[in-house]
Amino acid sequence: MDSETLKKNIKEKSHDKWYIFCGEEDYLKRYYLRALASSLCPDKTLESLNHIIFDGPDASLAEIYEAAVTPPVMSEHKFVEWGNADLEHLKEKELRALENIFSERSTSPDCVLAISASEEGLVTGTQKKPGKLFTRLSKIAAVVAFPRSSDRQLLSWLKKHFDREGIRSDAASLGKMLLRCGHSMDVLENETEKLCAYLKQNEATTLTTDTVEAVTSPISEADAFGLSNAILDRDLPRALAALSEMKARRVEAIVAIASISKIYSSLASVSVLLSEGKNSAEIAQALRIGSSYSASLYIKGASKRSTRALVSASKGCLRLDTAAKSGGQTGYSPIERFLAEYI
């Protein structure tokens, strides 16, 4: 199911299936959970009885089942929500129990159940090769994936926010926000509220690039994330674009070099461990990358290169770092040449 169908279902209160939300964009998951709650539980005096919330990977499936099959109290609908679920780590017995819960949909038409999985709590995979559990659960539920929003989607979303506040914005000012604040919808929402408050206080109705520069807070982590993903995907244009964003925001070149060095060092280590027959969980534990899902991204990236090439790139990072610290080669130009050679 896509988000437009979900939006229509919420508006019409037409829920033929129960939902599982997944993907990278946590902001949109929370947005649609709130929209479901507002639609299904409009009477705030009865909300505590008809909007039942569970949270985290340790939520009890037995309690969720009980909540889902219990009729609403003096209301047409009941909404049961399970947030931050980690479905990937459920045991087979628990997965069957979850499937049994969803099988109760037809016998509990006045209840709506929505499970929001963390990014790593349900791996979506790709269109050609969706995740194994994602495919399995899609047979019993309306699974809605929320991938990271594109620049075009974010620009449109930001413009709607400013339009609602009666503030004019253009491509230059909104593009400046993405360059300066990154691509997190949570961060962008906070910065938008800050900008609106500032403009209204100063009796202004137009957003400018100068205002964005003066009021918003720069976020370097977003650029590092974009650079990391581009390197893992061997996407040179995207890597250079991320690097350009960091340069425009005056992030020191040595910081960018450190990020690149860490990525190539991890890729080289992953490649060696793969040659030794290690799986994603073992690689994640050995290198402290994070989850097995995060490790899978590095495994995918390492599989696109030879171990020899990755070791060579790591040595190239060391030379780049040494040159930058010794004053031999400074600025972003050496980094751009490095990426062009090794990515």
Instruction: Using pLDDT thresholds of 50, 70 and 90, give the confidence band for residue 329.
Output: low
In terms of pLDDT, which residue wins out, 288 or 177?
A: 177
Say how far residue 170 (Cα) sits from the centre of its chain.
26
Q: Which residue has the higher pLDDT, 142 or 227?
A: 142
Question: pLDDT digit string (tens) for 197-239?
Answer: 999 999 999 999 999 989 988 765 555 667 888 898 888 988 8
φ, ψ for residue 23, nearest 5 deg = 110, -175
Q: What is the pLDDT of residue 19?
A: 96
SS3 (DSSP) at 217: coil
% pLDDT > 70, the chain: 94
User: Chain centroid to CA 116: how far?
Assistant: 13
The span from the CA of 338 to the CA of 318, in Å, is 11
Write down the pTM of the prediction.
Answer: 0.63
Q: To the nearest whole number, what is the mean pLDDT of the chain?
A: 88
- Here the tokens at position 210 are 């100068």
3-class state of residue 167 by DSSP: coil
Residue labelled with tokens 């402290």: 288
66 confidence band (pLDDT: 50, 70, 90): very high
pLDDT, average across residues 315-329: 82
Give the C-alpha distances (Å, rounded to integers) separating 226 from 76, 162, 235.
45, 26, 11
Residue 85 per-residue DSSP state: E
- Tens digit of each residue's pLDDT (9 = 90 or more) over 260-291: 998 999 999 999 999 998 887 788 777 776 55
Q: Is the predicted pLDDT of residue 328 greater than 90, yes or no?
A: no
Output the DSSP codes for 154-222. HHHHHHHHHHHTT-B--HHHHHHHHHHH-S-HHHHHHHHHHHHHHHHHTT--B--HHHHHHHSPP-HHH
In this prediction, residues 131-156 reach a mean pLDDT of 91
Check residue 12 and give its pLDDT: 85
Q: Which of 127-131, 156-160, 230-234 has the lowest mean pLDDT?
A: 127-131
3-state helix, strand, coil in the chain (%, to 5): 60, 10, 30
